[in-house]
Amino acid sequence: MECHYQPLCNLKDTTMTRAKVRERVSQVETQQWADRAAAKPVLHFYVAHKREIRCEGFYDNASGSGLLFEARSGTLRTRRWQVSCGTAESAICELCGEEEESIEHVVLSCPRLEPKQPSGVSLEQALGFRQTGPSGGAAVTSDGRDRGAVTAIIDRTKRRLERMAGDRYALDPEMHALRCAARACQGHALKPLKNNAGQRGWMGRTGRRGNGGKTQARLQQSGAV
């Protein structure tokens, strides 16, 4: 079978060095990646804050990393997301009942979720979209926090997302059953987990470092999300 591939860029009769060719190919690949992501409405926030393909060092095999993956890509199953899909009638947060349950509400402001984020933290910081310093060097937060503080903020986000998931599964057995079925298809059983409020949530049997999430972790580390 004959395959036809569109060339990334025209290198005919080029005098560029190998390094320059690689740089040019990388630029074209990055632009194509960004254009394809921008064509998907759900990825608008993601595309606006991630400008290049690169590995992210804050993913591991814990359930919080999977939820962070969903939040960054705009697919976290919040009540607002469910309303947009026609699977829920109200977008009000089930946990606090005060505001619409959006990604921003879950990550930053829901009073029922712990741990609390520091004052002044933005959604971009909480989701790990790095902000470059004035000189274009190492990534820092807008108020000058260093990398250690940025990592701590992302870890808080993971814990809040895990708490949201645990509380929601405790409130909605049907949702837990659906998640069990999805994870069973991946060969990854679930075990009950008590959260800080004494309610029963659920996490993967392999915990933080199990084998069940290796494939997902490799995809996350690839830099796609």
pLDDT digits (tens, 9 = 90+) for 79-88: 999 999 998 8
**DSSP class of residue 13?**
T
Question: At 175, is the pLDDT very low, low, confident or very high (cuts 50, 70, 90)?
Answer: low
Q: Average the pLDDT over each of 27-31, 54-58, 90-94, 166-170 and give the range with the smallest value.
A: 166-170
Q: Using alpha carbons, select from 63, 67, 71 the residue that is nearest to residue 102.
A: 71
Q: Average the pLDDT over each of 108-117, 171-180, 207-216 and give the range with the smallest value.
A: 207-216
- pLDDT at site 179: 61
Q: Are 186 and 212 in contact (CB under 8 A)?
A: yes
Question: At 174, is the pLDDT very low, low, confident or very high (cuts 50, 70, 90)?
Answer: low
107 compared with 129, residue with greater pLDDT: 107
Full DSSP string of 134-182: TTS-SB--TT---HHHHHHHHHHHHHHHHHHHHHHHHH-HHHHHHHHHH
Q: Report CA dihedral (153, 197, 202, 173) to the nearest 10 degrees.
A: -130
Q: Using CA of residue 209, residue 111, residue 78, residue 153, what is the dihedral sign?
A: negative
- Which H or E element spans position 119? none
Question: At 41, is the pLDDT very low, low, confident or very high (cuts 50, 70, 90)?
Answer: confident
Mean of per-residue pLDDT scores for the chain: 74
Question: At 34, is the pLDDT very low, low, confident or very high (cuts 50, 70, 90)?
Answer: confident
